[in-house]
Structure 1
């Protein structure tokens, strides 16, 4: 039913009837109300998708790999994950690509107990570190960061604690550090934890959050994929330009955060400084960085087959959006 409605709406649009917005299901890897998805939430709240002729509906899946599987199966055209995800799923024949990444930095940060005066990844030796799960991208980024510092996963006690436990155990002093997203650092600080983030230069350069699309959507519905990319990137640009105003917009869209605008602003500033920062062309995927991540996944046995680099991404929508300005 969804596919037939989408086809009819697209046909009307091509025929010149622009009043009817195209219904688009966008799969999220976690609850869409999370501050991690602020670019998307803000883009919808401010009508950026509507300006592209899209009526977008965020639907939660069971993580980024599940998003990719559902997109590959044709259950949706587009969805979100980490830029690393196509490396994992392409090895299993799932036809999806990154069409944009939201930032030049990796989304993984390593936070430590400020009381312990840990200043480098090497200081994690013998410590307990929490992660979301042993199959999450943040865990792989931690392993690579350890290796970069001359350590192995046996040199630390890594605990998979789930999306709440990863920062709650750390905040409660039951772990010495955690590897996770900027949201969890601010959550820990709000809980009274003295948090020190290790320099991002010491953290493995995995990818930022990505927009993924199926091969079929890229080929058959480029106007939809391009519209999603343009609108979402505008949401990210709004955060970079004015995190305080962006926090107010997010709180309007997600009432559970009303009164927590200051905390949201802190989260957004971490994303600006560590994830969104230094991306010369907003959304553009760096092939060299993606290749480095791909080689790591193969060397660690995370994937058994090395997918071709040019199967993992396309910058056509980001480049066309940039050229149109």
Structure 2
């Protein structure tokens, strides 16, 4: 009798152990390599950093590892080659790489605005794009999306690139030369605008409606990942958009969270908050459904890239994006 009881107890223990192991196996998060176009400690990547810090990816049973690539095009190439399932680039990037046969598309775009801002030295009294004629201005490089947006903005105002002395100065020089009064204007991202301002320069921004409607930052994925791992893509998209929503709702609290996640920014929360407010006002704003890609806007950018010879052939519009992972019932607050 005792033997039978012990046998039953042993069998029950084995069953319990098996269930426990099975539950633990189910609870193990999926490891996801996510490529970023630059080191992940930049405020530009705050939606991702905040989403990880606050456990939004973990709540989707995902464990994201951020790895820096060499720009958005490199991210797209690596994702297209299957070296990572997802990555970050600008919404314009699929236009460039798809034309070269790289099978990636945007699955979310973080904002209805473009990331390109044109900042001017307030002392120069530059009030419009047309006022840039004859001026010197800086950009990061001649192959960066902010430069392409500048070219399109000049053309929109009836100017050509030869009407302005545009200097490629790199990611630090772009704002350092500007803040040192060696250029009257700068085309760049909100982070650099705050950098120049904190270096002591009085800045005036060209109204955003005069800037060409390029795209905000995007999450890109390969056609293969979209087809075979849709649950992972959806989880990453929704968690990242939750991080973006936190910034929109409370830039100050978001700055505190970011500084906690990236200790190099401890004590710089006020500066971070200024940067986040620029993103909220100029990039994230007016997106009726968070993350949704506007086909009409993407088409306009696509046509510009072809007209300028940036890409040799026009990729099909429906191969550049998908909105299947966007919760269209959730409007932006």
Class of the TM-score when normalised by the shorter of the 2 chains? over 0.9
| 3-state SS of paired residue (2:326) | helix
Provide the residue aligned with 1:8 in structure 2. none
After the TM superposition, list the runs of 4 or more consecutive aligned residues in structure 1 that deviate by more than 6 angstroms: none
For residue 166 of structure 2, the aligned residue among 126, 134, 158 is: 158
| 3-state SS of paired residue (1:281) | coil
Report the structure number with the largest CA radius of gyration. Answer: 2
| 3-state SS of paired residue (1:237) | helix
Alpha carbons of structure 1 residues 227 and 192: separation in structure 2 relative to 1, 3 Å: same
Provide the residue aligned with 2:120 in structure 1. 112
Whole-Å separation in 1 of the counterparts to 2:282 and 2:198? 19
Provide the residue aligned with 1:27 in structure 2. 35
Question: Is it true that 1:47 corresponds to 2:49 in the alignment?
Answer: no
For residue 57 of structure 1, the aligned residue among 61, 65, 74 is: 65
Contact 2:116–2:187 (CA<8 Å) still a contact in 1? yes
State the 1:32 CA deviation.
0.6
Contact 1:68–1:212 (CA<8 Å) still a contact in 2? yes
Q: CA RMSD in A?
A: 1.4
Q: Structure 2: give runs of 5+ residues left out of the alignment.
A: 1-21
Provide the residue aligned with 1:179 in structure 2. 187
Contact 2:289–2:328 (CA<8 Å) still a contact in 1? no
| 3-state SS of paired residue (2:89) | strand
Number of residue-to-residue matches in the alignment: 310
Alpha carbons of structure 1 residues 216 and 322: separation in structure 2 relative to 1, 3 Å: farther
Provide the residue aligned with 1:248 in structure 2. 256
Deviations 1:234-263 (A, max 9, x none): 000000000000000000001111001001
Deviations 1:138-179 (A, max 9, x none): 000000000000000000011111110000000101111110
State the 1:319 CA deviation.
3.4
Whole-Å separation in 2 of the counterparts to 1:15 and 1:215? 32
Contact 2:38–2:68 (CA<8 Å) still a contact in 1? yes
Matches within 5 A, 1:81-100: 81-100=89-108
Whole-Å separation in 1 of the counterparts to 2:31 and 2:183? 45
Question: Is it true that 1:77 corresponds to 2:85 in the alignment?
Answer: yes
Provide the residue aligned with 2:322 in structure 1. 314
Provide the residue aligned with 2:293 in structure 1. 285
Alpha carbons of structure 1 residues 132 and 221: separation in structure 2 relative to 1, 3 Å: same
Matches within 5 A, 1:81-230: 81-230=89-238
| 3-state SS of paired residue (1:79) | strand
